[in-house]
Structure 1
Amino acid sequence: MKIAIGGLSKNVTAAAVQKFSGGKIETVITTDIGAVSMLKKGEVDYYFGACESGGGAAISILIGMIGYAKCCTVAKNGQVVKKENVEKFVNEGKIAFGMSVESIEKTVPLLVEALLEKSGE
């Protein structure tokens, strides 16, 4: 599995993916527009993006380019991320996940767990 990482704090997000996936997930640090191309070409499976609000710059380009049905905001600024919501988004087939910068350390482990579970790893 390969995840494109965009938005703010890309290195923090990528490091969290590596830490919580035990090296089972490869990351590619890119821009949101670069991630769109990679998703469309099948070069990556998912996108994680972070911004201050979790629903603006982290995910807005992806919504416009690949469609709202494939995107979601997992954790907005000041919001507590819930495991059941993350699992719901993954099971609905979302492939682009936006989160607030402040939530990276809590959101990424839940996303990684749900994505690995879905893939059977």
Structure 2
Amino acid sequence: MKIAIGGLKKDEMKAAVLAANPNIEVIITNDMKAIPMLKNKEVDYYLGACESGGGAAISILIGAIGYSKCATICKNGENPKKEKIEKIVNEGKIVFGMAHDKIDVAAPILIEILSDRETGGQ
């Protein structure tokens, strides 16, 4: 699995992703460079963080990839919920935004779900 990371606290996001699954290839980039990576299937997913979790983290990608492929998994002021994130992943989303102050909690939940999906739940 390959994941592109952009937005705020990219290094923190990378560390959280790799702590959850060290077998993931992580590419630190920005939203504009991630667009062709996603469209050309050079990466499987994009994770972005900002103050709100849905604004600057994924707004450019919503316009370029489409709203149906993007979601905020954890907004500012809320705690991530595994059930909500599973639903989002099961809807086929490939772009995920989160509030930067919840990276340490939200990213591992997301990576666990994506990793289970990639391995068929094994």
1:1-121 correspondence to structure 2 within 5 Å: 1-21=1-21, 23-120=22-119
The one-letter code sitting in structure 1 at the alignment partner of 2:53 is: G
Once the two structures are TM-superposed, the CA of residue 37 in structure 1 deviates from its matched residue by 1.0
> Could you tell me how far apart the structure 2 residues matched to 1:84 and 1:17 are?
19
* Inter-partner Cα distance in structure 2 for 1:97 and 1:107: 10
**Residues in 2 aligned to 1:119 and 1:92: alpha-carbon distance in whole angstroms:** 15
SS in 1 for 2:6: strand
Amino acid at match of 2:13: T
Q: Deviations over 1:42-101 (max 9, x none)?
A: 100000000011010001001000000000000110011100011111111100000000
The CA distance in 1 between the partners of 2:23 and 2:92, in whole Å, is: 20
Unaligned stretches of 5+ in structure 2? none
Deviation of the 1:24 alpha carbon: 1.6
Percent identity between the two aligned chains:
58
CA offsets, 1:25-55, max 9 Å, x none? Answer: 1100001011111000110000000001101
Distance 2:49 2:81 in 1: 17
1:74 alignment partner, SS class: strand
* Aligned equivalents of 1:7, 1:40: Cα separation in 2: 19
TM-score by length of 2: 0.96
Moved over 4 A (4+): none
Which runs of 5 or more structure 1 residues have no equivalent in the other structure?
none
Letter in 2 for 1:59: I
1-side partners of 2:39 and 2:65: how far apart?
8
The 3-state SS of whatever aligns with 1:42 is coil
TM-score where L is the length of structure 1: 0.97
